[in-house]
Amino acid sequence: MIPEHGRSTEEILRELASRGEGDTDWRGGRVFSLVYHAGDAHEDLIHRAHALYASANLLNPMAFKSLKQMEREIVQSTGALFHCSGAVGTVTSGGTESILCAVAAYRDRARKKKPWIRSPEIVVPRTIHPAFDKAAHLFGVKLVKVDVDAEQRVDLQKVAKAIGWRTILIVGSAPQYPHGVIDPIAQLGELAQEKKLPLHVDACVGGFMLPWLERLGRPIPKWDFRVPGVTSISADLHKYAYAGKGASCLVWRSIEDLRYQIFVATDFPGGIYASPTLIGTRPGGPIAAAWAALQGMGADGYLALAKRAVDAADALRAGIVAVPGLKLLGRPDATIVSYTSDVDVYALADRLEARAWSIDRQHRPASIHLTVTANHAPIVEAYLADLRACVAEVRANPSLAKSGQAPMYGMAAKMPLRRLVASQVRKVIADMYA
Ligand SMILES: Cc1ncc(COP(=O)(O)O)c(C=O)c1O
């Protein structure tokens, strides 16, 4: 309830702080994909930058020239990092918004260039992020999902086969979220050029990590604008750029393609309304915080963070393969680790959660996911010790697969009627709002 009388600033802030005390301990590295933390001093910088522009609104770039300039600088820095000096683009609220904007723009591009296509299709790997399913659902486009090989990279021959006269776009990931594997972007680029199709690279999770890994000498296959067929890239600032939440970047090679992102309404009595992203009001806080994160960290800061993250990921991988019965999935392309087990994976996840780790459970195949950041360097040994103990517990007591959350995850993963799974999940979420 809105209180009858306003409360004091101190009282409100005290209550807000105490409300968060029961949340998972992300500063302590117990969470693996939801938060990217680069230390308290950096956090303080992005909070203060955010506060300076918390009420500002980039809906009108004439009124907020400061924010427009920050957006331009963020996009130019991102384009340069991805080897395209003339790149253009927009800052959005997150990976999903960048992807929604890209799909809507490519749909409208096809409407203009290939008006005979009534049911447009986008060819994507099976491992593509569900933001593309959401975009397809919202914008009336069909996703044609292509299988992956044993290393979880999209199968090129199957991509070639999936392309038809209705195809308007090809998508690959750098890397994909579930196993951290980079799709063969150079080959997808050749295919895209051969078929005269655009190619979007979803680098939401990897965009601000892969360039530093390459500079550290890791063997990173080409995935950015150096691949001639790549026409656009989504890359999240609020992930490995360690910006505050609510910031991503959609970068285009050409202004001609960006144009399709811009929506204009001319009949509104409130005036001509133009908007390049999905949202109307564009909060200034996340843009200022993202700009501050790039400035505060600098290339040397990001290199140091990437080194810590990749060393932690390598140490986790080495510790995991040393446990009998555990197996890594995918390839060590980036800083994502994913593993499966010969004991029930979901029982293992329950046991790890009982030891205060926040666990990302995956399916097809059943596995556990870790997006590893610099903040995880100090917890590697503690995680591995708990993992060894939990594997032993589940091995000694296989009936753990029948208790806790394990049966629910197991059933949801295997149930053939996916619509039934969706309707049950929808009910659970609706109940949270009821
Ligand atoms: C590869 C990839 N694409 C898109 C997204 C969606 O990003 P967001 O959660 O910021 O909307 C994610 C999020 O993890 C991702 O890993």
Instruction: Tell me what pLDDT residue 24 has.
Output: 86
Please identify, among 262, 295, 328, the residue that sits at the C-terminal boundary of a domain: 295
**What would the 3-class secondary structure string for 276-319 be?**
CCCCCCCEHHHHHHHHHHHHHHHHHHHHHHHHHHHHHHHHHHHH
Q: Residue 17 falls within a domain, yes or no?
A: no
271 CB-near residues (< 8 Å, 6+ apart): none
Q: Residue 31 falls within a domain, yes or no?
A: no
Q: Residue 28 falls within a domain, yes or no?
A: no
Find the mean pLDDT for residues 356-362. 96
Tell me, yes or no, whether 289 and 342 share the same domain. Answer: no
Which residue lies with its CA nearest to atom 6 of ligand 1?
95
Q: How far is the CA of 337 from the centre of ligand 1 (A)?
A: 16
Q: Residue 231 falls within a domain, yes or no?
A: yes
Tell me, yes or no, whether 286 and 382 share the same domain. Answer: no
- pLDDT, one tens digit per residue, over 289-318 is 999 999 999 999 999 999 999 999 999 999
Please identify, among 273, 295, 317, the residue that sits at the C-terminal boundary of a domain: 295
CA 358 to chain CA mean position, Å? 18
Tell me, yes or no, whether 172 and 238 share the same domain. Answer: yes
Tell me, yes or no, whether 273 and 405 share the same domain. Answer: no
Residue 174 sits in a domain whose CATH number is: 3.40.640.10
Instruction: Tell me what pLDDT residue 11 has.
Output: 98
Tell me, yes or no, whether 213 and 124 share the same domain. Answer: yes
Residue 348 sits in a domain whose CATH number is: 3.90.1150.10
Q: Residue 191 falls within a domain, yes or no?
A: yes
Q: Cα separations (Å) of 198 from 6, 119, 351?
A: 54, 17, 45
Tell me, yes or no, whether 284 and 374 share the same domain. Answer: no
Tell me, yes or no, whether 223 and 108 share the same domain. Answer: yes
Q: Residue 58 falls within a domain, yes or no?
A: yes
Tell me, yes or no, whether 178 and 304 share the same domain. Answer: no
Tell me, yes or no, whether 239 and 319 share the same domain. Answer: no
Residue 410: pLDDT band (50, 70, 90) is: confident
Pairing of strands 336-341, 326-328: antiparallel
Tell me, yes or no, whether 86 and 230 share the same domain. Answer: yes
Q: How far is the CA of 55 from the centre of ligand 1 (A)?
A: 26
Pocket of ligand 1 (CB under 6 A): 94-96, 129, 131, 173, 176-177, 202, 204-205, 236, 248
42 CB-near residues (< 8 Å, 6+ apart): 242, 293, 296, 297
Tell me, yes or no, whether 120 and 220 share the same domain. Answer: yes
Domain that holds residue 153: 48-295
Total domains, the chain: 2
Number of the ligand 1 atom closest to the C-alpha atom of 33 = 14
Find the mean pLDDT for residues 85-112. 98
Find the mean pLDDT for residues 391-414. 92
- Percentage of residues in the chain having pLDDT higher than 90: 95
Q: Residue 236 falls within a domain, yes or no?
A: yes
Pairing of strands 167-173, 199-202: parallel
Find the mean pLDDT for residues 341-350. 97
Q: How far is the CA of 204 from the centre of ligand 1 (A)?
A: 5
Tell me, yes or no, whether 134 and 253 share the same domain. Answer: yes
Least confident of 62-76, 264-278, 391-405, 408-422: 408-422
Q: How far is the CA of 313 from the centre of ligand 1 (A)?
A: 19
Average pLDDT, the chain: 97
pLDDT of residue 415 exceeding 90: no
Residue with tokens 């963070």: 305
**Beta strand ranges found along 147-278 (DSSP E):** 167-173, 199-202, 230-236, 248-252, 263-265, 273-275
pLDDT of residue 105 exceeding 90: yes
pLDDT of residue 411 exceeding 90: no
User: Residue 322 burial (CB < 10 Å; 0-12/13-18/19+)?
Assistant: exposed
Q: Residue 3 falls within a domain, yes or no?
A: no
What SS3 state is found at 229?
coil
Please identify, among 233, 268, 295, the residue that sits at the C-terminal boundary of a domain: 295
